[in-house]
Structure 1
Amino acid sequence: MARNRIHLTTDILADALHRLGIAAAAVDREALRRALGLPEQDGFVEDAAVAAALRDGDARRAFTEGGVAALRLALPALRAEPARDGALAWHLRVSLPLLDDGRLDLRLDAPPGEAAAEILEEMALGNDPAWRLDDLRAALAETAAGFARTLHRTVARLRDQIRDDLHEIGADAPTYIAHLDRSLRARVFTPSPNLAHAILDTLKTVRTRAKVVAREESGRRRLRDRVGFGSYIDKFVPARRLNRRIVFHMGPTNSGKTYAALEMLAKAPTGTYLAPLRLLALENYEALLERGLRAGMVTGEEILGEPDPSHTARTIETADLRRPVEVAVIDEIQMLSDPDRGWAWTNALFGIPARTVIVCGSDDALSHVRRAAEAAGESLDVVTFVRKTPLVALGEPVPLESVQPGDAVVAFSRRAVHENREALVAAGRSVATIYGALSPEVRRAEARRFRDREAEVLVTTDAIGMGLNLGPLKRVIFSAVAKWDGTATRPLTNPEIRQIAGRAGRFGHQDEGHVSATDDASLGPIRDALAGAPTAPAADTRFYVRPDLIAIEAAAAELGTDALAEVLTHFSRATFYDGSPFQPSAMEEALEAARAVDKAHLPIREAFAFAVCPIDRRDPASTAMLDRWVQARAAGAPVAALRANVGGELEYLERTVKLAAAYLWLARRFPDTFDEAEATKLLRGRANAAIEQTLRETASCNLAARTRPRVPA
């Protein structure tokens, strides 16, 4: 073939591929342009250069799929991460011992060096992980030695500081070393102009904490004072017996962190997946079944699958803290900071009895996870994941009239969602709708309508932030960057923006995701969040907890009372003193519920169940229904299945589904009183179907409205 010199545009590059006998549609031309080092607009390229770039790309992909794993076995300190354009980003783990006996490694992730990089590039292009392996080993050793020389004074200073610490604490030295070792293994430094300062500054805090821990009875009272961590942690006896290993899969949305955790779970002989949502528990239960595993699902309302499963998918509030398993996966670990539900993540993090506990979530949770591991005396490994597709903040706003098929418009209240929905439907768009008041079944159905392109646009709240497969979603458009948090309207945090925006550009569907807002003023916070602007340190870093039934009954016996409100008040005074590592999870709401339930004079075990029953306590109709149920239980009378008109308004149907879920939750605990569970399940199914039908029927213009001008596609 003639070596034609080509003036490059996207179309002419396609012509070059055609002359090479390659279908242009099968090639990522933008990535190819970058690989060729061509300018943004105009440039020149030869057919031979295009062919060579394609060959190199194929070779790199083949090496990534097979060669990298083989090389990792030969050189465990060498790590690879996929970068753009099919290249690999290589990192060398350099370990510098801080004690004479080789313990207490200071770990550094560094570039492998120029000589090693050249060998690795040739390995990749030849797809040969054995090529010049000895030379590569020598080059990496020289790189590591170079960093050892560079950091010689820093390491020597650290050794002197550690020797001084050991002399100061005397007999508690083993505890100091063990604590420092766990902390060092959870920290990896990277080269920077201020690396020496960063190491000394970071480890000054770690050394101080290690001395505090060591002085507390040689580590037997880890981080405890009065009630403190110790007594709380020690109540999880099965977990404390296992010497657990905690692994933090840390990364943004669409980075593969949860997928990697579930792969490890599926390969284990026994395991459990703890989900933030019933929807996620159901999806992963189905995934475990598809793998041929003996799987089960447990939520507050139902139990599905095998009677004695090897693997379970659960909502996190139903975590089994007694039965040991090999691997446990705790998803969305940053929910530790949620005032209403954070207690469930606290319990799971400290109490799930698994030899390996994999927690998945964003980097915002790292300090909490690290403190928990140190307090429990358990090892922590942090595995960082990077997003698989770029996430780009658009330069201009996208008003509602410019919304395109495949977009998601995000608001932060049911009312705002329906306002956006009505505006888009009136403009001719067909719409799928997702918000928190909808049941998991309806949310899943609406996501499927959008994914299958039955609906052009998705209108949603932050309910899309986790647990839904949204397939072709390319653009997320914020109609607001503030939300009501139950107390006040506040700006979204950077992690919240990233969590929602990250649903755009799903790997395997889009090359990149786009994020914008409906107005100019909202673009600034979005750009800052996507650029990785640091989040302001949390004003309160305590762990949320809620007393469990064991603590409730013990306090009731000590106080000689069956009044739940009195017990909760005592628990609050005893646990949330000044300096406690804990804070109450929605304690005011729990106290209000306890006062209402106490009027029925139920045994405290039963009163506690009704007080934590999941209903909307802001809705007077729902709280009145719960009061009637409490009175029926106290009187020994059965509670009939719910009755409802499934032809009612949307808000009425949503309440019906929530109350049906509460009935089923109570039926699991009091089957003799709530004895019409099957009839209630049927009603819930009919109400969900009616909601789905209403959303479908109102998802696009009626015949008369279709005469209005449509928004251009």
Structure 2
Amino acid sequence: MPTANTPYDPLDNTGAEPIAEVARPDEQIAAYLGRFGARFIHTHESIAIEVAGELRGELDENLSVPFRLVPDQGVLARVAKWRRLTAEQRLALVQERLNADVLDALHTQLQSLILTVERRAFKAGLEPARFLGALQSGRELASRRCQIVEDRLADAIIHKREESQRDVALRTVPLARYPESFTLAAGLRRRFVAILGPTNSGKTHRAMESLARAKNGVYLAPLRLLALENYERLSEQGVAVSLVTGEERRITEGATHVASTIEMLDIHRRVEVAVIDEIQMLEDLERGAAWTAAVCGVPADTVFLLGSVSARAAIEALAQRLDCALEVVTLQRKSPLEVAPQAIGGLNRLQRGDAVIAFSRRDVLEWAAQIARVGHKVAAIYGNLSPEVRRTQAQRFREGEADIVVATDAIGMGLNLPIRRVVFTTADKYDGISQDQLPVWLTHQIAGRAGRYGMHEAGFVAGFDDATHRTIARLLKIRPDALPTRGFFVTPSLDQLQQIASATNENQLGKLLELFSRNIDLSDDFFLPGDFSEQIERARWLDTLRLTLTQRFTFSLVPISMRVSMLSDAWHNWARNVANNRPNYLSHDLESFERAKYPLQAAEDACKKYSAYAWLGYRLPDFFPDAEAAVAIARETSERVDRMLAAQNGSKASHHKPDKKPQRRVVRHHGNRRH
């Protein structure tokens, strides 16, 4: 039986002024309350009955559970009404609201709660008393307090599970042993050959000659365009080579070599020679993990690492960590690079063979239009163009069909063009967060495209206006910072996520990615999780669909911009169809571009859409059966984009020849938009 408490005046207990009518309850009410271990309390302007007692655990007899609660029927009346009741009415009300049946119901309610808490707490490795102590709050209805106990237990179980998952994830994928996850490469005695130097120093030529002579090998490129260029280079040398990118496959029967984008590395195919291009991309927060994976995981006897001299220390650190022999070859630029004595100063001073650099699609198109109007034929290259269009635009410039190429920094990687002079229209670039001065390394990389060896005796660099010219000249005098020698980025593979899922019983992709990102054993910080926040954002939505983990992981990586409504809508619809077990068939209307408000933009976005469909088609062929058709349509659409650009920039201009720099629009950027 509950232990009785001395009854007391409910209003005195609250600290309020006593009310005469209830200041001294009659002995009959006091005796009745005493029989049940109860007392009056004042709660929320009402008079109620509070019962105190103690129960024992159902599973643990040593568990003592004291309680002090208001039974759900224990609220008697508001103070004003209580004052108007006679002593007899008060006694009758107390007897109605507190009796053996009410107390039995309270005990049953609490014993059921205790049993539930014991079972759930013990299963989670928690102490039940930690939560059941909340039953001593007093002044609160039993049902409300029981719910609080259950809520606190549920929160603790979630927290405990998260802690357990973190511990398991920590043990499951230790990043300190990341290289060991590439079992084939880890079992080889690999040799690294770093060929480092500026643009136009012959790095790629030397490595590709070794690759062509090897009995088998792989070339890993940062861009589909570069993979295609070196696929053709090897083919022209009589090498049986296949092209493998995310969006395209050109499989040659009996191929001994593969040219691919770096993310498409096959870690299970051993080769004699591998070439990893643009090794300085190790430092890139968004894509650097692909270079880390390639260096750690490419199963080649000899691995050529091509890039900037600034990557030397990072390569040495990786070679030491991977226990690989390292040879470093440093090359000098084959033709001199000079800063022009003065700024260009006007459109009519541009010359055939110039590359005019801007840093957004809009600016490229505006400059191209202005330059075309002063009589030059122009090619345009920017990031939103498909690789095929960039290539054909470059070809127009290379073959003399275009006098001048106007480009973003997309020109800085992988395009071999007969550029005599690089002209910067600005020394600022939006980096996804703010408009800032060009980084030193990027300035060097773009400027280095001037004076292609074998085409020009020297290369020249200039700014269009005086301020830009002075800034570019100063930046070219600064040596780019060396890459860090630790903190190499990694992202989780599907295998690693499946390991974590199996160990933690967690199947939500978003949570698995967060577990990897936040809780993996970093040990000495030599390897660090990269930035896959966008992947996590996609994963959270994908987790609402009935998709397998493999399907969700695949969709989370589709190379498509979620900031373009047409592309985002397509991605969401494709995922919903797969969740409903419906194939996604391809449909297209090439004439729709001409009906769009901005035909060129619509055609560019359509290229991205068809390429993304092809990307999915190679990974989920049952749900994307038209992958080959998508490649063909993307190529056809790219040709249309190229014709649009040629028509826009290739006609002879009017006689107006302005000498002023085009008026640059002020663009306010929101979010992490990149051009």
Would you say same fold, with TM above 0.5? yes
Instruction: Judge conservation of contact 1:475–1:505 (CA < 8 Å) in 2.
Output: yes
Shift of 1:419: 1.7
Instruction: Judge conservation of contact 2:175–2:528 (CA < 8 Å) in 1.
Output: no
Aligned to 2:296: 350
User: Could you tell me which amino acid in structure 2 is paired with residue 656 of structure 1?
Assistant: A
Separation (CA, whole Å) in 1 of partners of 2:623 and 2:518: 34
Higher-Rg member (1/2): 2
Question: Where in structure 2 are the equivalents of 1:442-521 lying within 5 Å?
Answer: 442-471=389-418, 473-521=419-467
Instruction: Judge conservation of contact 1:228–1:580 (CA < 8 Å) in 2.
Output: no
Separation (CA, whole Å) in 2 of partners of 1:287 and 1:336: 25
Identical aligned residues as a percent: 40
Separation (CA, whole Å) in 2 of partners of 1:229 and 1:356: 25
Match of 1:685 among 632, 635, 642: 635
Shift of 1:620: 2.8
Separation (CA, whole Å) in 2 of partners of 1:317 and 1:347: 9
Match of 2:529 among 564, 584, 592: 584
SS of the residue 1:706 aligns to: coil
Shift of 1:376: 0.7
Instruction: Judge conservation of contact 1:227–1:575 (CA < 8 Å) in 2.
Output: yes
Question: Where in structure 2 are the equivalents of 1:323-362 lying within 5 Å?
Answer: 323-362=269-308
Shift of 1:623: 1.6
SS of the residue 1:698 aligns to: helix
Instruction: Judge conservation of contact 1:228–1:581 (CA < 8 Å) in 2.
Output: no
Distance 1:632 1:225, change over 3 A: closer
Q: Are 1:312 and 2:264 matched, yes or no? A: no
Instruction: Judge conservation of contact 1:339–1:544 (CA < 8 Å) in 2.
Output: yes
Shift of 1:228: 5.9
CA deviations 1:68-94 (Å, max 9, x no partner) are xxxxxxxxxxxxxxxxxxxxxxxxxxx
Aligned to 2:163: none
Separation (CA, whole Å) in 1 of partners of 2:484 and 2:207: 31
Instruction: Judge conservation of contact 2:379–2:394 (CA < 8 Å) in 1.
Output: yes
Distance 1:679 1:311, change over 3 A: closer
Separation (CA, whole Å) in 1 of partners of 2:379 and 2:272: 40
Separation (CA, whole Å) in 2 of partners of 1:690 and 1:298: 24
User: Could you tell me which amino acid in structure 1 is paired with residue 537 of structure 2?
Assistant: E
Aligned to 1:419: 366
Aligned to 1:367: 313
Instruction: Judge conservation of contact 1:482–1:492 (CA < 8 Å) in 2.
Output: yes
Separation (CA, whole Å) in 2 of partners of 1:321 and 1:407: 42
Distance 1:312 1:540, change over 3 A: closer
Aligned to 1:659: 609
Separation (CA, whole Å) in 1 of partners of 2:656 and 2:355: 22
Match of 2:578 among 633, 644, 649: 633
Instruction: Judge conservation of contact 1:400–1:424 (CA < 8 Å) in 2.
Output: no
Shift of 1:232: 0.3
Aligned to 2:356: 409
CA deviations 1:614-638 (Å, max 9, x no partner) are 1012223312210110010011111
Separation (CA, whole Å) in 2 of partners of 1:616 and 1:623: 7
Q: Are 1:249 and 2:195 matched, yes or no? A: yes
Separation (CA, whole Å) in 2 of partners of 1:315 and 1:509: 28
User: Could you tell me which amino acid in structure 2 is paired with residue 571 of structure 1?
Assistant: F
User: Could you tell me which amino acid in structure 2 is paired with residue 527 of structure 1?
Assistant: A
Gaps of 5+ in 2: 1-169, 661-675
Separation (CA, whole Å) in 1 of partners of 2:437 and 2:214: 42
Separation (CA, whole Å) in 2 of partners of 1:706 and 1:297: 44
Instruction: Judge conservation of contact 2:173–2:521 (CA < 8 Å) in 1.
Output: no
User: Could you tell me which amino acid in structure 2 is paired with residue 708 of structure 1?
Assistant: H
SS of the residue 1:477 aligns to: strand
Shift of 1:582: 2.9
Instruction: Judge conservation of contact 1:646–1:690 (CA < 8 Å) in 2.
Output: no
Instruction: Judge conservation of contact 1:329–1:359 (CA < 8 Å) in 2.
Output: yes
Shift of 1:538: 6.2
Separation (CA, whole Å) in 1 of partners of 2:395 and 2:555: 35
Shift of 1:600: 1.0
Aligned to 1:544: 489
Question: Where in structure 2 are the equivalents of 1:634-649 lying within 5 Å?
Answer: 634-644=579-589, 645-647=592-594, 648=596, 649=599
User: Could you tell me which amino acid in structure 2 is paired with residue 334 of structure 1?
Assistant: Q
Aligned to 1:555: 500
CA deviations 1:636-667 (Å, max 9, x no partner) are 11111142424341111111000101000000
Aligned to 2:341: 395
Shift of 1:483: 1.4
User: Could you tell me which amino acid in structure 1 is paired with residue 402 of structure 2?
Assistant: A
Structure 1 residue runs of 4+, over 4 Å off? 224-229, 536-541, 576-579, 709-712
Separation (CA, whole Å) in 2 of partners of 1:679 and 1:274: 26
Separation (CA, whole Å) in 1 of partners of 2:228 and 2:650: 30
Aligned to 1:160: none
- Name whichever of 284-293 and 679-688 sits farther off: 679-688
User: Could you tell me which amino acid in structure 2 is paired with residue 615 of structure 1?
Assistant: I
Separation (CA, whole Å) in 2 of partners of 1:242 and 1:541: 23
Shift of 1:549: 0.9
Q: Are 1:668 and 2:668 matched, yes or no? A: no
Separation (CA, whole Å) in 2 of partners of 1:475 and 1:593: 43
Q: Are 1:262 and 2:262 matched, yes or no? A: no
CA deviations 1:207-247 (Å, max 9, x no partner) are xxxxxxxxxxxxxxxxx999665420111111111111111
What is the alpha-carbon root mean square deviation over aligned residues?
A: 2.2
Separation (CA, whole Å) in 1 of partners of 2:305 and 2:575: 38
Shift of 1:452: 1.4
Instruction: Judge conservation of contact 2:345–2:464 (CA < 8 Å) in 1.
Output: yes
Distance 1:479 1:707, change over 3 A: closer
- Name whichever of 351-360 and 573-582 sits farther off: 573-582
Distance 1:587 1:620, change over 3 A: same
Instruction: Judge conservation of contact 1:391–1:530 (CA < 8 Å) in 2.
Output: no
User: Could you tell me which amino acid in structure 2 is paired with residue 348 of structure 1?
Assistant: A
Separation (CA, whole Å) in 2 of partners of 1:483 and 1:340: 18
Aligned to 2:228: 282
Shift of 1:448: 1.0
SS of the residue 2:654 aligns to: helix
Separation (CA, whole Å) in 2 of partners of 1:668 and 1:265: 27
Q: TM-score, normalised by structure 1?
A: 0.65
Distance 1:494 1:709, change over 3 A: closer
CA deviations 1:535-575 (Å, max 9, x no partner) are 34668951111101111111111121221001001111223
Shift of 1:417: 0.8
Instruction: Judge conservation of contact 1:299–1:314 (CA < 8 Å) in 2.
Output: yes
Distance 1:529 1:381, change over 3 A: farther
User: Could you tell me which amino acid in structure 1 is paired with residue 405 of structure 2?
Assistant: L
Instruction: Judge conservation of contact 1:646–1:687 (CA < 8 Å) in 2.
Output: no
User: Could you tell me which amino acid in structure 1 is paired with residue 244 of structure 2?
Assistant: V
Q: Are 1:706 and 2:654 matched, yes or no? A: yes
Match of 1:568 among 503, 513, 521: 513
Separation (CA, whole Å) in 1 of partners of 2:219 and 2:397: 27
Instruction: Judge conservation of contact 2:311–2:483 (CA < 8 Å) in 1.
Output: no
Question: Where in structure 2 are the equivalents of 1:168-317 lying within 5 Å?
Answer: 230-317=176-263
Separation (CA, whole Å) in 2 of partners of 1:601 and 1:297: 34
Gaps of 5+ in 1: 1-223
Separation (CA, whole Å) in 2 of partners of 1:318 and 1:404: 40
Question: Where in structure 2 are the equivalents of 1:124-203 lying within 5 Å?
Answer: none
Instruction: Judge conservation of contact 2:192–2:325 (CA < 8 Å) in 1.
Output: yes
